[in-house]
Amino acid sequence: MMFENGANGVTGPLKGIRVLDWTMWQFGPMAGAMMGDMGADVIKIEALDGDAGRALSRASTLAPTLPGGRNAYFETNNRNKRGIALNLKTSEGREIVYKLVGTADVFIENFRQGVAERLRVGYEDLREINPMLVYGSATGYGPNGPDSALPSFDGCGQARGGLMLSATPSWSDEPVRVSQGVSDQMGAIMLCSGVLAALVARHVQGVGQKVDASHLSANMWLQGMGLSMSLILGGSRFGSYDRKSAWNVLANLYKCKDDRWIQLMHLQPDRYWESFMTALGLPQLVDDPRFAAGPARMENRDELVALMDEQFMTKTSDEWDKHFRATGDFIYARVQSTDELEYDPQVIANDYITTFDHPAIGPIKMCNHPNIYSETPSGIFKEAPELGQHTEQILVDELGYTWDDITALQDKGVIL
Ligand SMILES: CC(C)(COP(=O)(O)OP(=O)(O)OC[C@H]1O[C@@H](n2cnc3c(N)ncnc32)[C@H](O)[C@@H]1OP(=O)(O)O)[C@@H](O)C(=O)NCCC(=O)NCCS
């Protein structure tokens, strides 16, 4: 029997797909949550002591604990899933997973390399049961090589994958770790996208397969344009932007009178030079020989940035925004913090942050699934499961275990 969703209007492009999600922390779980957002029947498999992410006590400046033993970190990484708690170190526990694998399309995991094989739920074990299975696996540094079994968390991916130094401004000598688990999140996106492509291959080419994702590859891919460009250019470094000496002053950051910043993004500066400088209130610079033509403008860029800096300080960011909208077709954005996003009219209009009525903690807001499907809406329809919440439902209603079996499995320490 397939679990039916449809709550909150979510039918989802993955309706009818069953995902077994044996994951912990963020990298693996978020990939499963994305598939859940897309309407898959996601069953999270946890050890009897649960995903360690349930107990995360601090994420950067935030303490994620919620009333009733809930946790904001776990809720976001495990929304739209049912939960089953199994001891995979027992043959009975493995047997349950094998039965589920027979009903599943996808299995994902993000344990250290070797753990799945040791517990006999590696790809080679599971493909024997279900040759059409798509098996998604996440590691720190990839499935091959001397460091393939090393443990890894978000910061390791950011450090080794080059992201920290890319985020570090030229004037600082301390690497910047981007907050909010971006390296795990990017890994999850790549794991999910790999699984989706493998599902298409299964449909079109008739093959099941294993898909690997890693912190290292995901962080490299996040910077893949710059990295490939540098390599094509013989290894020259893709440096960070130096605002005060911007090569293109019309694709630069400027501070306004209210201390808020505006990012200009005119990648064709000649096209916008006259109209933008006029709108900015500096029409006298349009034909100024120091700045009028490309090469001279680049040569005198420090001087030009200083003049534009001064001019931007004459209005607030709000005033500039209104003014630029009224005077031309300019490409720019105001710099916002994530805590402003829920009030952004575009975020509201597209439901990018959505409200979910959590049965235990009441209405909560969460970042919604990032794609909008016209015919099969995605979204949030279910809260994260409590540890082992659906074990009995799945065993009895879907796998044919009896209530006597349940008691025996509990007595043997296979389930809770
Ligand atoms: C996240 C990570 C660092 C955690 O390392 P760890 O806490 O030492 O855990 P490991 O993955 O090595 O092992 C998990 C343990 O749980 C056990 N386990 C997991 N699920 C189980 C279950 N259902 N039943 C019984 N045991 C279970 C495993 O058997 C293993 O124990 P063992 O070593 O005694 O066999 C590591 O798993 C890793 O690097 N993963 C890949 C990268 C990643 O996803 N990182 C997290 C980013 S959010």
Residue spans of the domains in the chain: they are 7-224+354-411, 243-339
Distance 113 CA to ligand 1 centre (A): 9
- Mean pLDDT value of segment 14-32: 98
Q: What is the pLDDT of residue 4?
A: 53
159 versus 295: the higher-pLDDT residue is 159
Nearest CA to ligand 1 atom 19: 47
**Which residue among 89, 111, 416 has the greatest number of ligand 1 atoms within 8 angstroms of its CB, and so is best to mutate?**
111
Q: What is the pLDDT of residue 270?
A: 94
Identify whether the C-beta of residue 121 lies closer than 8 Å to the C-beta of residue 109. Answer: yes
What does the pLDDT average to over 261-278? 97
Pick the CATH number of 7-224+354-411 from 3.40.50.300, 3.30.200.20, 3.40.50.10540, 3.40.50.2020: 3.40.50.10540
Confidence (pLDDT) at 1: 44
Q: In the chain, pLDDT over 70 holds for what percent of residues? A: 99
- CATH class assigned to 243-339: alpha beta
Residue 5 confidence class, pLDDT cut points 50, 70, 90: low
Mean pLDDT of 398-416: 98
pLDDT of residue 2: 47
CA of 111 to the centre of ligand 1 (A): 4
User: What is the average pLDDT across 221-250?
Assistant: 92
* Binding site membership of 78 for ligand 1 (Cβ less than 6 Å): no
Please tell me the predicted confidence (pLDDT) of residue 8: 77
Q: Among 122-136, 174-188, 233-247, 367-381, whose mean pLDDT is lowest?
A: 233-247
Inform me whether the pLDDT recorded for 152 exceeds 80.
yes
List, for residues 45-85, the tens digit of each pLDDT value.
999 999 999 999 998 889 999 988 899 999 999 999 999 99
- pLDDT tens-digit map of 302-345: 999 999 999 999 999 999 999 999 999 999 999 999 999 999 99
Res 155: pLDDT = 97
Percentage with pLDDT > 90 across the chain: 92
Pocket test of ligand 1: the residue of 94, 112, 409 to mutate, having most ligand atoms within 8 Å of its CB, is 112
pLDDT of residue 9: 82
Confidence class of residue 125 from pLDDT cuts 50, 70 and 90? Answer: very high
Ligand 1 atom at minimal distance to the Cα of residue 25: 48
Q: What is the pTM (predicted TM-score) of this model?
A: 0.96
Per-residue pLDDT of 91-104, as tens digits, reads 999 999 999 999 99
The whole-number pLDDT of residue 10 equals 85
Q: Grade residue 24 by pLDDT with cuts at 50, 70 and 90.
A: very high
